[in-house]
Structure formats: structure tokens, C-alpha cells
Structure 1
Amino acid sequence: MTEKLNELLTEWRNPDTENLDALPTSEIVKKLNEEDKKVALAVEQELESVTKAVDLIVESFENGGRLFYFGAGTSGRLGMLDAAECPPTFGTEPSLVQGVIAGGMSALVEAIEGAEDEPELGREDVEKVGVCARDVVVGIAASGRTPYVLGALEEARKRGAKTVALSCNPGSALGALVDVDIAPVVGPEVVTGSTRLKAGTAQKMVLNMLTTASMVRMGKVYGNLMVNVQATNGKLEERVKKIIVDATDCTYAEATELAEQAQGDARVGILMKLKGISAEEACKQLDQVGGRIREALEKK
């Protein structure tokens, strides 16, 4: 096991940071910044694979499927974070995008390291959440070989789900199992083996792409405006008003009135203003096109 670990690029010692502990603070943070600059370029090399994964996710959503993230440690937490941010940002049901972490919810705030070594736990968690053939399952593991994630992907494939691997080591065990392999090569970490650094940043960037691009394709965004945002606090209530202003060129006062009549739904407010219709009619037209505001605006 140790020998295999030493073969992983993410576990190699970085020659540019071997004297890290002897550096002043300014040089330590400079080294971190210099290494972080490499992450976006590594992700860029995987855009074709990311595109394929997004297309699988959109097809799944259109057929009543869901997106699941399975991971352990940092990778699992990143999946949970991305899933948790979809409902407030895109107005989705919490069940549409779900994160599952080895060791359960307590693993979000404390390290439960042993849980990642059990492939059976991954298989059991896939069964618990009811993964089916309509779904897409993304296994996240910087190493590309975490047993928990391997078990989850194996079980997901048995159930007919489409599968995606997200790691930072090319030619990984995870990658050999799946329909789409995404593996941005970020190289050795500043602190040897600490994959919460560049590897974690790369994973977060890819997860951002997977959900954001999928939600855009599903009509959850108008132009570049997050029109499905849920106005659940003061800041988001103001954001809804700003979205209405940006989309219609109306005044802030008018946007405030529209947002109130639309009960905080920016899409309804925009339709009311641009088509000169009531909130009730705007809701009806949105329902007819599955909530896609652009289609509602273009419909005669």
C-alpha cells in the first residue's frame, strides 16, 4: 500500500518547497500562490471531459434523475458543499444534487479517516440513498484510489447509473471504472501529500463547473443572471431586486414592487415587466415551459 502511495503524483515531494519551514512568512505565502497558479491551467486540460460529464448530468436531470457526489475527507466535504449550494442558488430541490461523505454527517467537522478504507461502506451508502439507472454518480478522490469511493462507483454501475471520476492522478483506479474520467494534474503539493491544497482547489473548480454549467443548460440562469435564486434572507431579497433591474432596466422602486408581487421570484417579476402581465399569468407561463424563463419570454 505504501509503495503504491509513493507512485501517486499528488504524494511526490515538491522540489520547489523543500525548505518551506525555513522561509519567512512572505515567502511561504508566495510559494503557495505560485503553486495555486498552476491549478486553473491543469483544469483547463480537462475541459473536454468536464463537458462530457455535464452532458451526462443534463440528460439525467431531463429524465428525472439526480446527481450524487461520493467522497471521503476533503473530497467528500467539497462534494457536500457544492450540493448544499444548489438549492439557494438555482432554486432546486435538495434531492436533485446530493453529497455523501464517508463516515456520515459528523465527518463534515471532524476527521473520520478509517471510513475511507471500506469499499463496503461506499456500496451501502449508494444503496441507502437509492441510486438508480437515471442518476449520475461522481466519485471524488484526489488519489483516485480511495476504497470507499471505489465501492460506491462499483455499486452505482451495477445499478445502471452513469459514473464520473474526479481525481488528480491520471490513469487512476477510479478512472478505469467510469464513463467519464476527469483528472486535472496539479502536481506535488506545497506540503507533501496535503491534497486539501492544489488538489482540493482543482476539485472545487471542477465541481463548480459541473453544477453551474448543468443548471445553465437546464434554464436556471437567464443571460448570466441567477434568476432562480431563493430570496431567503435580506441580502438575497436585494439580489432579486437587482436581477429584475438588470434584466428589465426598470427602476429600483419598480423592481421592489415587482419582487413583492412576484413573492420573491425574480423570473416572475421579469416576465411581469417585459410582457406586461400579472404575477398569476407569469407563473402560468413559466409552468408551461418547465420554469425556463427565456422560453417563456420568447413564447407568443
Structure 2
Amino acid sequence: MATEEVDPRFADLDAWPLTSAIEAMWEGQLAAVAAIGHALPAITAATEAANAALSDHGRIVYVGAGTSGRVAVQDGAELTPTFAWPKERVRFIVAGGDSAFATSIEGAEDNVDDAVAQVNAARLTPHDVVIAVAASGTTPFTVAALQHAGSFGAVTIGIANNPGTALLTSAKFPILIETGRELIAGSTRMKAGTAQKIVLNLISSGIMLRLGRVYRGMMVNMLPTNAKLKRRAEAMVAQITRCDPQQAARSLELAGGDIKTAVLLALGVDRTDAEALLRHSEGNLRRVFAELTKDVHVERDRPSKEAAARGRAGAVEP
């Protein structure tokens, strides 16, 4: 496997001037990013399948061991603060269990029985999306977990850095990022790890885009849980509705911190109507504005306070 081989170009890396060594490692990171380009069609296909499967109750399940497992956990841990993805809809199946998130658990990656047990405990369904990551593509724990997950009908996505490996052949949606030899042989926390993190970012962010948790480049599902995030939420409301900061702050408070509801309140939509519109549009603000734009044409001949509010909302660019 290329990720385990010594690269002759860097055999004396430890004897190089530090400036040269760091420059070489930086160039390796750039090469890792470039390697993802060939996988973009596969990444897109996997993301579309994940979106179709998740519906309103499916889970995103990350699987991995060692470095790859910790990279996967990092991506999943960010879904709730960034997109308000429900905590119960993200799960981690990691060799060695929760203690392996921050500590290396020797031998855990070979424990196939533990992989099967963790998958069974997860009670997977066809609405779940299982994303398994392994640089080698052969890690017994990760391969076994992905294969077993497939037996439950879950969407299985395999990410590996070596071609023709068991993880890729076991996945419904294989993603190969061929990063090649590491500058430090076998240290897949470097090129392979960088590429894995980017691919995971692309998949999870792509899912959230498709689920309407982003509007015009903004994290409109974000929960304003501290002063910084509250200011960010108020700025989003003001930017989307073109209202003043004070009105944005009032609307956000009336909406109980829900940015999308606050946007509609700032535009003059009644809260009950705002919540109904969001439910009807599955929380997708772009769909809400498209619907309101259609309603504006219907209501022009019967002016009312509600019609005026919808007119303001419909004027927002969908």
C-alpha cells in the first residue's frame, strides 16, 4: 500500500534543514488537496444518495479507527453547532469506543467482533447513512462495520486512500482519494488525513445544503448559544430582510432564537403563519420565499395586513 511505503525522495527528511522539510510537508498537503479533484463525481453521488435516504429522521453514522476515526469524529461533532443537526441523529462507531476519541487504543482496529456489536447496537435502518473512513482501506474494524451496516440497508460510503481495497469494494458509494506515499511513511495523519477531512467536509456540508440548512451562504439553522453567535444570527436576519439591527434583534428574540422564523417575523409575517410556512417547506427558507412570491400575485387584488407582509417577504430574493 502506497500510504505505508517510504518515499525515496524524503528518505533523509530528518537531516534536511527545517525550512526545507516544512516546505516539503506543506507541498505534500497541497498534493493531498489536489488528489480530491478526481473523486468529486463520486463525492457528489454519495452526497445525493445520503440526502435522499436521510428524510426527517435518518442518522449520519461515522465509522473509523485510529487517526481516521478521530478525523471522522471531528467532522460529525461540528454538525450540531454549525447546522443545528440533532445530536440524536449523529452517531460514532469507533474502534475502542468513546475513549479512542482522544487516546490511541492499541489493537482496537483489529476487533471485528466489536465492530459488529457496535453496528448492532446502533439499530441501523435504510434511512441511515454510514460513512466509513480508513487510509489503508483494509482496517478490519472499519471494513467489518461497513459490511455489516450494509446488511441493514443503510447507505454505505467508504473513503480510502489506496485503490482496490476491501473498504471500497464493500461500500455502495466508494470514494478513493489516492494521496500516495506519505513524507513520513505510514503517518496518515498527514496527506491522507488532510484529504479525508476535506472529503468529509464536502459530504456533510453538501447534505446540509440539500436539506435547506444553508441560505445564501449563511448558516440559518445555527443556534445562537453565546454572545458571538447571537450577534451573527442578528446580522443574518438583518442581511436577509434588509431591516435595521434593532428590528433584527427583536425578531430573533420573539422567535426564540430561531433564525428562519425571525427572518419571517422581521418581514411582518405572523409567527403562527411563519412557523406553518416553514413546516410546509420542510424548513427550507428558499422554498418559503418562492411560495410567498407566488402568493403575492394572488393577493394583490385583496390588500390586507397579511398580504402586505407577504409582499415584503416575497420581495426578498429567493
Give TM class, smaller chain. over 0.9
Paired residues for 1:4-153 under 5 Å: 8-62=1-55, 64-153=57-146
**Quick check: 2:54–2:129 contact (8 Å CA) kept in 1?**
no
Alignment check: 8 A CA contact 2:160 2:177 kept: yes
Distance in structure 2 (CA, Å) of the matches to 1:217 and 1:159: 24
Is residue 2:166 matched to residue 1:170?
A: no
CA offset at residue 231 of structure 1? Answer: 0.9
Q: In structure 2, the residue corresponding to 1:175 is in which secondary structure?
A: helix
Cα distance in 2 for partners of 1:25, 1:240 equals 44
Task: Deviation per CA, 1:164-183: give whole Å up to 9, x if none.
Answer: 11010111111111111101
Asked if structure 1 preserves the Cα contact closer than 8 Å seen for 2:160 and 2:175, the reply is: yes
Is the Cα contact below 8 Å between 1:79 and 1:100 reproduced in 2?
Answer: no
| Aligned-pair CA distance for 1:162 | 2.1
Q: Which runs of 5+ in 1 are unaligned?
A: 1-7
Q: 1:184 to 1:106 in 2, by over 3 A?
A: same
TM-score by length of 1: 0.93
Measure, in 2, the Cα distance between the counterparts of 1:16 and 1:239.
47
Instruction: Give the match for residue 4 of structure 1.
Output: none
- C-alpha distance in structure 1 between counterparts of 2:221 and 2:151, whole Å: 35
SS in 2 for 1:46: helix
Cα distance between partner residues in 2 of 1:133 and 1:122: 19
Greater displacement, 262-271 / 163-172: 262-271
Q: Give identity over the alignment, percent.
A: 36
Measure, in 2, the Cα distance between the counterparts of 1:79 and 1:12: 24
The residue that corresponds to 2:151 in the other structure is 158
* Contact 1:245–1:251, Cα closer than 8 Å, also in 2: yes
Q: Which runs of 4+ in 1 moved over 3 A?
A: none
Distance in structure 1 (CA, Å) of the matches to 2:123 and 2:190: 32
For 1:150, the aligned partner's letter is V
In structure 2, the residue corresponding to 1:113 is in which secondary structure?
coil
After superposition, the CA RMSD in angstroms is 1.4
Of residues 273, 277, 280, the one that matches 1:281 is 273
Aligned AA (1:289): S
* Cα distance between partner residues in 2 of 1:63 and 1:178: 23
Q: Whole-Å Cα distance in 1 between the matches of residues 60 and 205 of structure 2? A: 13
User: Over residues 43-70 of structure 1, what are the superposed CA-to-partner deviations in whole Å (9 max), with x where a residue is unaligned?
Assistant: 1110111011101110111264222111
Structure index of larger Rg: 2
Deviates more, 1:289-298 or 1:168-177: 289-298
Question: Structure 2 regions of 5+ residues with no counterpart?
Answer: 296-318
Letter in 2 for 1:19: D
